């Protein structure tokens, strides 16, 4: 059961979303303080959003390849990324990261800057401002980013199949299972996995809408 495409997809998506949450939250907050390099960094961080997943998979293959320094280092310490579920995690992380980064960044840009300025005037440290002021005011954007990143990672196909492969019971996610089922003419199995992804995506959208509407109701009051 735990080697089914559903649990493999869930495991990859959850870990990728955790990495996206930590890095996206940190970099989105840091980007507000970048002056000269902000446009360049935004292009780098948002580029995976517009690149074809196969291109992302190609660059990851090169990055983790034994022919290049980092891949050689991983091979020397006995860590395998290519054709393992960790490859799927990194592929999903790269593809889903821009959704979290941009969602949180937009929420932070819309926040009243005077709140942070007053806090600094009162002597609050940056880490305290981040947790006590920034995070509570950006909850809808953070939740939206998490859900968008999770659903994107959960259904990722192009980059994952290039980096992790399509190995049943090991790296075969739901998207790959749909592809394999269609290739073999097993439409019934394909329908089941398609329905599963649709239910997950719909549930995430409903939660995102609820969180956003709840925030607006509080603002109106």
Higher-scoring residue by pLDDT: 24, 217: 24
DSSP 10: H
Encode pLDDT of 93-105 as tens digits: 999 999 999 999 9
Most confident of 65-69, 124-128, 175-179: 175-179
Taking the CA of residue 50 as centre, how many other CA atoms within 13 Å lie in the half-sphere pointing to its CB?
A: 6
Token output for 6:
């559903």
CB 174 within 8 A of CB 155: yes
CB 101 within 8 A of CB 203: no
Distance CA 98, CA 82 (A): 23
DSSP reduced 3-state for 35 = coil
| Domains of the chain, each with CATH number or no CATH | 5-220 (1.10.3720.10)
DSSP 131: I
Higher-scoring residue by pLDDT: 220, 66: 66
Token output for 70:
């980092």
pLDDT band at 219 (very low <50, low <70, confident <90, very high): very low
């Amino acid at each position: 059961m735990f080697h089914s495409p559903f649990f493999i997809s869930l495991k990859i998506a959850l870990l990728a979303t955790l990495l996206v949450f930590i890095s996206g939250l940190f970099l989105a907050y840091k980007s507000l303080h970048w002056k000269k390099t902000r446009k360049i960094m935004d292009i780098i961080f948002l580029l995976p959003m517009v690149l074809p997943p196969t291109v992302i998979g190609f660059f990851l293959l090169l990055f983790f390849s034994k022919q290049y320094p980092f891949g050689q280092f991983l091979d020397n310490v006995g860590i395998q990324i290519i054709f393992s579920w960790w490859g799927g995690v990194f592929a999903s992380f790269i593809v889903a990261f821009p959704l979290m980064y941009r969602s949180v960044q937009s929420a932070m840009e819309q926040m009243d800057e005077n709140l942070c300025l007053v806090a600094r005037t009162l002597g609050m440290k940056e880490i305290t401002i981040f947790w006590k002021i920034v995070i509570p005011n950006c909850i809808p954007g953070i939740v939206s980013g998490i859900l968008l990143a999770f659903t994107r990672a959960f259904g990722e196909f192009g980059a994952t199949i290039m980096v992790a492969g399509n190995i049943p019971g090991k790296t075969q996610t739901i998207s790959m299972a749909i592809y394999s089922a269609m290739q073999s003419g097993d439409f019934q199995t394909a329908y089941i996995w398609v329905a599963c992804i649709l239910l997950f995506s719909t549930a995430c959208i409903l939660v995102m809408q609820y969180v956003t509407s709840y925030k607006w109701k509080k603002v109106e009051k």
